Amino acid sequence: MAMTALLILRPALMWWALCGIMVALVIAAELINTAREHLADHLHPEPHPRIKIVKDCAAAAVLILSIGALRVAVMMVVSVV
């Protein structure tokens, strides 16, 4: 979807780079979050309140980064249009 928006809007190269960085960061955060969840489940299969907090914090970090990426996208559209 980001690539489609970039191809349609044809923003300056800075926006291409910034969008690429944001996409990479969100994907990396998702992968780290997934790895952390699988490791926690493997080491402690039973539900545990502290592990739930770790999982919730990691998911919140991904959410915050995704909101930041959305903000970059909105700023790009506003600056180009």
> Rg of the chain over CA atoms, in angstroms?
17
Q: pLDDT tens digit string along 2-18?
A: 889 899 999 999 999 99
Which residues 6+ apart lie within 8 Å of 62 measured at CB?
26, 29, 30, 33
pTM of the entire predicted model: 0.87
The full set of domains in the chain, from first to last, is 2-80 (1.10.287)
CA-CA distance, 62 to 15, in Å (whole number)?
A: 21
Q: pLDDT tens digit string along 42-73?
A: 999 999 999 999 999 999 999 999 999 999 99
